[in-house]
Amino acid sequence: MVYLDYAASTPVSSEALHVFEQLCNDCYGNANSLHDAGGRANEVLTYCRQSLATLLDGEPDGIYFTSGGTESNILAIQSIMNGLPAHKRHVITTKMEHPSVHYAFHSLAHHGVKITIIEPNQAGIITPDILEKALLPETGLVSIQHANSETGIIQPLATLAPLLKKRQILFHTDAVQTFGKIHVSIKDLGVDALSISSHKVYAPKGAGAVYMGRSVPWKPVYTGAVQESGFRPGTVNVPCIGAFIAASEQAISQVDMQHQQDGDLRRYFLQQIKERQLSIRTLDDDAVRQILPHIIGCFFEGFEGQYVMLACNRQGIYLSTGSACASGYHHPSPAVKALHLSDRDALQFIRISFGRMTSKEDIDQLLHTFVDLQKEKKGED
């Protein structure tokens, strides 16, 4: 098996699995219980909160654990809007966001909140000028992803934040794809709230977190909830959270090394597609934009992305496509279309994403399959 879909989900590391098993066996009390077993679970949570706050360059009382990235985005956005005054009923997001962000905003629209969805420039970047044109006196919240999971394009949040601070507009970011891959600091980014997820950093699925700055006047989505200071209801999943933090600590400690490994693989792939004369165009870093090193967005001329994905799947190679299927209708991804591409070009998009176990041999197997596909297209033996 050649797994090249780490941006979608990662395997669980041995360290995270060990912590998960240990907590399942030794720390199964409810963290809200008043007896000693509950106290031990609460001690683990307290450590996890402190550790994650340190990793994010924030404060422990700003950490709220969730079930994953989707819930983190939805609860963060809706909780913030619940706490804003009545005259702040306008929100802004982008065309490239994760579906969970669009779901949260769609839900707000049903409650009379005005929604503005902005598009990036030709390079896929939201610039201060683009954002400023969308701001209104009643704007209360802006949500812009840190980096896109399909294209890997990183948004310059630190250059956008001062524009919002000046107008006392709250700033949320979906950092699910960047946490553990590059440096993510609440202070450096200038955001008020941030969402992350466990299964992108080699931890089990089922955990995530929201960071809320102390100045954010959020109010619960679920009234009466007591877990996580009222942020969400439900028994706190201590074993999964413990594994999440163990994996996060490991990912952050290795981030520079992994960044170098991903960069080497990226350069090798780009070099090889030229040497093998493959009809593949890639999104890449330039003076205008930066892209996460572990994600390569490609356009394979003459092939739809889903055809390439399925052809690779038959060879035991797993990657993904930026397109989506709904009710039998095949259509290009909004994130890819936001790059101002035609439907034809957008449907050719595929995503390759690296991880810890990715090797040059994996890349060679992928390239060999690409070569065979191109020969097949040209009618060669």
Q: Residue 286 pLDDT more than 70?
A: no
Instruction: Report whether 142 contacts 131 (CB < 8 A).
Output: yes
Q: Residue 329 pLDDT more than 60?
A: no
Given this model, what pLDDT does residue 327 score?
A: 38
Residue 381 lies in a domain: no
Residue 74 lies in a domain: yes
| CATH code of residue 315 | 3.90.1150.10
Given this model, what pLDDT does residue 140 score?
A: 97
User: Which of the 8 DSSP states describes residue 354?
Assistant: -
Instruction: Point out the domain boundary residue: 253, 276, 308.
Output: 253
Closest to 92 measured CA to CA, from 135, 63, 149: 135
Given this model, what pLDDT does residue 291 score?
A: 94
Mean pLDDT of 247-272: 96
Q: Which domain holds residue 202?
A: 14-253
Which of the residue ranges 102-111, 211-220, 224-233 would you say has the lowest mean pLDDT? 224-233
Mean pLDDT of 365-378: 91
Q: Residue 132 pLDDT more than 90?
A: yes
| CATH code of residue 141 | 3.40.640.10
Residue 271 CB coordination number (10 Å):
10
Q: Residue 326 pLDDT more than 50?
A: no
Residue 325 banded pLDDT, cuts 50, 70, 90: very low
Residue 264 lies in a domain: yes
Catalytic residues: 325
Q: Residue 273 pLDDT more than 90?
A: yes
Given this model, what pLDDT does residue 284 score?
A: 79
Residue 376 CB coordination number (10 Å):
12
Check whether residue 125 and residue 149 sit in a common domain: yes
Residue 204 banded pLDDT, cuts 50, 70, 90: very high
Check whether residue 239 and residue 259 sit in a common domain: no
Given this model, what pLDDT does residue 285 score?
A: 62
Given this model, what pLDDT does residue 264 score?
A: 96
Residue 137 banded pLDDT, cuts 50, 70, 90: very high
Residues 6+ apart with CB under 8 A from 260: none
Given this model, what pLDDT does residue 183 score?
A: 94
Between the alpha carbon of residue 118 and those of residues 156, 171, 310, 354, 369, the distances in Å are 15, 15, 33, 30, 38
Given this model, what pLDDT does residue 380 score?
A: 62
Residue range 144-158, pLDDT digits in tens: 999 999 999 999 999
Residue 161 lies in a domain: yes
Q: Residue 381 pLDDT more than 60?
A: no
Structural domain tally of the chain? 2
180 phi/psi in degrees, rounded to 5: 85, -10
Residue 76 banded pLDDT, cuts 50, 70, 90: very high
Task: Tell me the pTM.
Answer: 0.94
Check whether residue 286 and residue 348 sit in a common domain: yes
Mean pLDDT of 298-307: 92
Check whether residue 240 and residue 322 sit in a common domain: no
Instruction: Point out the domain boundary residue: 253, 282, 310.
Output: 253
Check whether residue 163 and residue 218 sit in a common domain: yes
Instruction: Point out the domain boundary residue: 228, 253, 278.
Output: 253
Residue 131 lies in a domain: yes
Residue 322 banded pLDDT, cuts 50, 70, 90: low
Mean pLDDT of 272-295: 88
Residue 330 banded pLDDT, cuts 50, 70, 90: low
Check whether residue 50 and residue 137 sit in a common domain: yes
Question: DSSP assignment of 44-97, as one string?
Answer: HHHHHHHHHHHHHTS-GGGEEEESSHHHHHHHHHHHHHHHS-TT--EEEEETTS
Check whether residue 113 and residue 32 sit in a common domain: yes
For residues 141-166, one letter each, b for 16 or more C-beta atoms within 10 angstroms of the residue's C-beta and e for the rest, the string is bbbbbbbbbbbbbbbebeebbebbee
Check whether residue 219 and residue 275 sit in a common domain: no
As a whole number, the mean pLDDT across the chain is: 93
Residue 231 lies in a domain: yes
Instruction: Report whether 232 contacts 79 (CB < 8 A).
Output: no
